[in-house]
Amino acid sequence: MKTKPPAAAMASPVSVPSLGTVILVRYKGPTNQTGSRWIATLDRGKPDVFRASSRFNYAGSENDGSDAAAAACLEKYQSFLDGRFSCKLTGRARLSSDSFVYTFETV
């Protein structure tokens, strides 16, 4: 007889330790109007949500387009900072087969 796992065990299988503000990049499959793409989101709480997207690179190279989406999102965030700070991407980790998390630092 199968038993239902407790609610705590049913939580998301992926947990990200507290890294501060991070950029989440997710893959979105093609639709009738658009091709596959990566959507990057940097969420600092409303109204400070920054998004950018880039096309999926089908060439099979190491960079499938997720890095470009994260960089574009970070560029939008930097323009919001009005040149007071400069930011650079510092790390990338795969969360699942269709998402990454990017860390960045303010210089």
Query: Percentage of residues in the chain with pLDDT exceeding 90?
Result: 47
Domains of the chain, by residue range, sit at 29-106
* DSSP per-residue codes, 44-71: -STT-EEEEEEE--TT--S--SHHHHHH
Which tens digit of pLDDT belongs to each residue from 60-76?
666 788 999 999 999 99
Which residue has 């989440």 as its token pair? 24
Read off the pLDDT band of 19 (50, 70, 90). Answer: low
In terms of Cα–Cα distance, which of 78, 52, 79 is closest to 66?
52
Q: What is the pTM of this model?
A: 0.76
Rounded distance between C-alpha atoms, residue 64 and residue 103, angstroms: 18
Dihedral (CA of 95, 100, 106, 107) sign: positive
More confident residue, 42 or 5: 42
With a cut of 80, say whether residue 5 has pLDDT above it.
Answer: no
